[in-house]
Amino acid sequence: MIKHLRSAADLDAATATLILDTAAEMAALSGREVKKLPALRGRTVVNLFYEDSTRTRISFEAAAKRLSADVINFSAKGSSVSKGESLKDTALTLQAMGADAVVIRHSASGAPHRLANWVEGSVVNAGDGTHEHPTQALLDAYTMRSRLGRLDGLKVAIVGDVLHSRVARSNVLLLTTLGAQVTVVGPPTLIPLEVGAALSDKTQVSYDLDAVLPESDVVMMLRVQTERMQDSYFPSAREYSRRYGLDVPRLKRLPEHAIVMHPGPMNRGMEIAPEVADSPRSTIVEQVANGVSVRMAVLYLLLGGK
């Protein structure tokens, strides 16, 4: 088993599949009355959050607690972190506390890689800057597999601000590893340079959402921050939503079986119309529930053994 989960690139197909299979077992066990499992008793998991993300933190916390790990939440607010303590000094403190795993959320890309140099335990990336968010990609893959029964050969469109999206990077890496065909879609200003060479040469690029939709089994809408238009990535929210928003007419262009995903939080009316977000084809609520199972699987596989 791998030691750290810093990037979806840390996962080969076998390991990624093992995580998804383990998550399925965890999900099955989560349905029962006694939710707690003893596997990580005596292990300490630290949630080190430099960015506010209550959803992700709670998801990791629930996952660790269901496996009976001790959880320490070390959030940037009201701690030495906000007083300017360096990541390295914080790491040494966590090391002294005997952290077996550190789940880190940070606004700087690569912070988990840096942290892994300074702690002996496992490092799990819970989102770093505009780099990656591998557990989000795992839960997205899990959701696709449970809805559509497979990942191999699945056609997935990832739509929106791919340039600034850590969710997109991790999903492209993971999904192509698992045999899906990924097309990133958005205005050219928001598609990173050489995305194919950088992430996976199987990645397609399109600027035309309408052309991609009829071919897609999954369409994943990324959050688009309206601030991006101040930086001239696109002219206006209205134009963005006309060209790249998923509305009801566009939903109808999708094949019958296709599903709609969104990593949240959504800008309803911007990248996704409210009717689409709430439609039965949307997996948005499921994604949240699957998050706990996937994170249990990750923590168990990283910490469960020797």
Partner 1 sequence: MAQPRADAPSKIILAGSDLSRVVDRIAHQILEKTSGATGTVLLGIPTRGVPLAHRLAARIHAFEGVEVPVGSLDITLYRDDLRLQATRALGKTELPAGGIEGLRVILVDDVLFSGRSVRAALDALKDLGRPSSVQLAVLVDRGHRQLPIRADYVGKNIPTAHSESVKVALTEVDGADEVRLIGGLQ
Partner 2 sequence: MAYLLKGVSVLGAAPTDLLIKDGVISDKTDKDAVVIDAAGLVALPGLVDVHTHLREPGREDAETVETGSRAAALGGYTAVCAMANTSPVADTAGVVEQVWRLGREAGLVDVQPIGAVTVGLAGKQLAELGAMADSAATVRIFSDDGFCVADPKLMRRALEYVKAFDGVIAQHAEEPRLTEGAQMHEGEVSTRLGLTGWPAVAEEAIIARDVLLAEHVGSRLHVCHVSTAGSVEVLRQAKARGVRVTAEVTPHHLLLTDELAAGYDPVFKVNPPLRTSSDVMALRQALRDGVIDVVATDHAPHAVQDKECEWSYARPGMLGLETALPIVLSVFGEQWDLIADRMSIAPARIAGLDGHGGDLTKAGTPANLTLVDPSASWVVDPSGLASRSRNTPYAGMTLPGRIVATFLRGEATVLDGKAVK
Q: Point out which residues bind partner 1 (CB under 8 A).
A: 1, 18, 21-22, 25-26, 28-29, 32-34, 36-39, 67, 300-302, 304-306
Q: Does 36 bind partner 2 (CB under 8 A)?
A: no
Residue 297 CB coordination number (10 Å):
27
**Among the residues of the chain, which ranges form H helices?**
13-30, 54-66, 87-96, 111-118, 134-148, 166-177, 195-198, 209-212, 237-244, 248-253, 274-277, 284-303
Query: Closer to partner 1 at the Cβ: 35 or 55?
Result: 35
**Positions marked catalytic:** 55-56, 83, 105, 133
Which residue among 13, 18, 87, 205 contacts partner 2 (CB under 8 A)?
A: 87
Give, in order, the Cα–Cα distances in Å from 237 to each of 61, 121, 301: 36, 44, 42
83 binds, options partner 1, partner 2, none, Cβ within 5 to 8 A by partner type: none
Three-state secondary structure call for residue 128: strand
Contact mark string toward partner 2, 125..164, x via CB under 8 A: ---xxxxx--------------------------------
Token pair 């084809």 is found at 281
Q: Find out whether 100 and 68 touch, Cβ atoms under 8 Å.
A: no
Closest distance of CB 37 from partner 1, Å: 5
Cα 21 from Cα 119, distance rounded (Å): 29
Query: Closer to partner 1 at the Cβ: 14 or 96?
Result: 14
Query: Closer to partner 2 at the Cβ: 41 or 88?
Result: 88
Cα 145 from Cα 297, distance rounded (Å): 16
197 binds, options partner 1, partner 2, none, Cβ within 5 to 8 A by partner type: partner 2
Residue 271 CB coordination number (10 Å):
24
Which residue among 43, 57, 66, 166 contacts partner 2 (CB under 8 A)?
A: 166
Q: Does 285 bind partner 2 (CB under 8 A)?
A: no
Q: Find out whether 133 and 125 touch, Cβ atoms under 8 Å.
A: yes
Flag whether 250 is marked binding: no
Cα 156 from Cα 181, distance rounded (Å): 6
Token pair 């390991």 is found at 15
Which residue among 78, 83, 197, 306 contacts partner 2 (CB under 8 A)?
A: 197
Query: Closer to partner 2 at the Cβ: 133 or 295?
Result: 133
Report CA Rg, the chain: 19
Q: Does 192 bind partner 2 (CB under 8 A)?
A: yes
Flag whether 133 is marked binding: yes
Closest CA to 266 of 251, 283, 280, 284: 284
Query: Closer to partner 2 at the Cβ: 47 or 203?
Result: 203
Tokens of 232: 């001239």
Flag whether 83 is marked binding: yes
Cα 135 from Cα 203, distance rounded (Å): 20
Query: Closer to partner 1 at the Cβ: 61 or 100?
Result: 100
Closest distance of CB 298 from partner 1, Å: 11
Q: Does 113 bind partner 2 (CB under 8 A)?
A: yes
Residues contacting partner 2: total by CB under 8 A: 24
Closest distance of CB 192 from partner 2, Å: 4
Phi, psi of 217 (to 5 degrees): -90, -30
Annotated binding site for carbamoyl phosphate: 55-56, 105, 133, 136, 264-265
Annotated binding site for L-aspartate: 83, 166, 223
